[in-house]
Amino acid sequence: MYRRILITGANGLLGQHLVRVMGSMPEYDLLTTGQDESPRFSGGSCGYTRLDITDNDSVARLIDDFAPDVIINCAALTNVDQCEVNREACWNVNAVSVEHLAKCCLAKGIRLIQVSTDFVFDGASGPYKESARPNPINYYGRSKLAGENYARGAGTEKWAIVRTALVYGAAENLSRSNFFLWVRDQLMAGKPIRVVNDQWRTPTYALDLANGIEQIIRYGRHGVFHVSGREYLTVHEFACQIAEALDLDRSLISATDSQTFKQTAARPAKTGFIILKAETELGYAPHSSSKAVEDLMHQLGNV
């Protein structure tokens, strides 16, 4: 079935991977948006337009003009510490803009896929199933949970919430790094790094996440899905896996605890996801972290 797909926040890591996955599929007509005047990615035949996701009039006009069947909302403020300080901007992007998108979707019968986070949980009892009760401990998590609740207003069986965790990968001209790139760059430069060993996650390869979202669209699923990697690791363990896969000096990585960094926003200790629902209902099959890093090495020209 031919579908028109609007992707917001397309210049980010996930957005670029959605373009990579869906842009080559003839059943999809993509229009992508971002804050920049031009796309940060190259290739593909999808259209691009600059969009301020908090400008309700501009968003409504674009939806009227393009008439999408599905909106994938990747637009978000994700710097956890900045969200704690710049609360108004955080709330406007992560919550209020989703409320407006959901209202547009409800009025026009459009499906809304809202990308969310493991930080909607307090980290007391991860990894989490979709049925677990959210309880965010920082403002970023609260704003994303509000966005989830607004997304549910898109209409019965017209919304999907995709929660993910510690997304990593490589893409073109990213405005901010991610954990994989940071570890690689520091170790390649011979710089020692300190990484927490008291936070657990299920690291998520961005390509896997994009494939999971495409499967939700393809199979017409709705509801909440946890889409991440399978492996439940401390952040320190994940850094060591990256070093080993890239044949970099693991001795440069030292373990420490969260209190060392005195970060503005609290971080949940044990999040991560149980992904059985995505595996059974979508056929979702994520890479192992070692296979994902091998794939990234080829992308980055290191092999």
Convert the pLDDT of each residue in 274-299 to its tens digit: 999 999 999 999 999 999 999 998 88
* Domain 3-169+202-230+273-283 part of CATH 1.10.340.30: no
Active-site residues: which are they?
Answer: 140
Q: What is the mean pLDDT of residues 88-93?
A: 99
Q: What is the mean pLDDT of residues 159-165?
A: 99
Q: What is the mean pLDDT of residues 237-256?
A: 96
Span 44-84, pLDDT tens digits: 668 999 999 999 999 999 999 999 999 999 999 999 999 99
The backbone torsions φ and ψ at residue 292, rounded to the nearest 5 degrees and listed phi first, read: -65, -45
Q: Report which of residues 130 and 172 the model is more confident about.
A: 130
Model confidence, pTM: 0.96
Q: What is the CA radius of gyration of the chain?
A: 19
H or E element: which one contains 4? strand 3-8
pLDDT exceeds cutoff 90 at 40: no
Q: Report which of residues 212 and 41 the model is more confident about.
A: 212
Please count the other Cβ atoms lying within 10 Å of the Cβ belonging to residue 33.
26
Q: How much is the mean pLDDT over the chain?
A: 95
Question: Using CA atoms, how far apart are residues 129 and 81, in angstroms rounded to an integer?
Answer: 26
- Predicted pLDDT of residue 303: 38
Question: Using CA atoms, how far apart are residues 100 and 107, in angstroms rounded to an integer?
Answer: 11
- Contact call for residues 274 and 232 (beta carbons, < 8 A): no
- Predicted pLDDT of residue 180: 96
Span 7-18, pLDDT tens digits: 999 999 999 999
